[in-house]
Amino acid sequence: MPELPEVETVRRGLVDRVVGRQIARVVVRREGLRFSFPSDLKTIAGTAIVRIRRRAKYLLLDLSDGRVLLSHLGMSGRYTLFRAEEVPPPDPHVAPVDGGVPASRFGETTGFGGRHDHFELVFSDGSHAVYTDPRRFGILDLFAAEAEAAHPLLQHLGPEPFPPWDSEALGRVLSGRKVSIKSALLNQKVVVGVGNIYACEALHRAKISPRRQARTLVRKDGRPTERLTRLVDGIQEILADAIDAGGSTLNDFASVEGAAGYFSQQFAVYGRAGQPCPAAECSGTVKRIVQSNRSSFYCPRCQR
């Protein structure tokens, strides 16, 4: 599943290419993905994209008419941008789909009209943004900007894992919690967007076992321990490094330009079970365990 660095990579790519452009046409090739598409989705034609934000793992496209188009990439979603000159010419032997480019490539995995290309924005300059999602767990929604705070997908989200969020803020939430620190980091009410991969990597960098109870990282007076401070620093460093590397590509993820994310080449523990721990002066071996149906990778020797 694309995590915060991957979603931020997509956001930055979209900002560079589509902010300020007018949507001329909306192409919809199915009724929905995880949920049905909004019934008024095609009414965004004629509006312009004025800003693109990220909240947790959601993309929020602010439109010129005061509405917001929400997008979640689910397990395998991606946006691919095509310049006008890259759009294939119409196939005279294939009927257009919903006013869009004919589905002449039906059966391919991405492009125009492929069997996993479910949604498409056509801009007034002839360029296209194609949403592809083989596993169909993505989400699209459309709502008035003033309704954002009460949106059911957004209203319960915790803080972003960047300043002003710090170890003091995390300590207040973790105080007294008997759950594992790994499970706490994946709780979107505690902090958003860390995700399984980056939680494993941050815990390794902070030398904290994913099994450790969250409450043990907070002092009796509610203040964070030195370990918790190291963890927050590690989370922020790992996420920043991953964003700089364009995220991590394990299966389907790619930027809007089609580029893979390269942070996966820097993994210290994730997916490295049975391999030597890369930490200096550590002779341990990376181990895989299962916590809440998710794989955790860590070094039992240096992570306590």
Q: When comparing pLDDT for 10 and 114, which is higher?
A: 10
Residues 6+ away with beta carbon under 8 Å from 198: 3, 4, 5, 235, 238, 239, 242
C-alpha angle 165-53-118 in degrees, rounded to nearest 5 = 130
> For the segment 233-243, what is each residue's pLDDT rounded down to a tens digit?
999 999 999 99
Tell me the C-alpha distance between 193 and 72, whole Å.
Answer: 12
> For the segment 225-263, what is each residue's pLDDT rounded down to a tens digit?
999 999 999 999 999 999 988 877 555 655 676 665 657
Mean of the per-residue pLDDT values of the chain: 89
pTM of the model as a whole: 0.89
Tell me the C-alpha distance between 70 and 141, whole Å.
Answer: 5
Contact predicate 250/209, CB 8 Å: no
C-alpha angle 95-98-100 in degrees, rounded to nearest 5 = 75
Cis check for the bond before 38: say yes or no (omega within 30 of 0): no
| Residues involved in catalysis | 2-3, 57, 294
Output the pLDDT for position 91. Answer: 56
| Inter-CA distances, 123 with 44, 257, 287, Å | 11, 17, 49
> For the segment 15-70, what is each residue's pLDDT rounded down to a tens digit?
989 999 999 999 998 899 999 999 999 999 999 999 999 999 999 999 999 999 99
Q: Which domains does the chain have, with CATH numbers?
A: 4-150 (3.20.190.10), 167-298 (1.10.8.50)
Contact predicate 213/177, CB 8 Å: yes
DSSP one-letter string for 201-218: HHHHHTT--TTSBGGGGB
Which residue type does 212 have? R
Q: Is 117 helix (H, G, I), strand (E, B) or coil?
A: strand
E strand or H helix that includes residue 295: strand 294-298
What is the pLDDT averaged over residues 160-181?
96
> For the segment 102-133, what is each residue's pLDDT rounded down to a tens digit?
443 333 334 455 678 899 999 999 999 999 99
Other C-beta atoms closer than 10 Å to the C-beta of 147 total 11
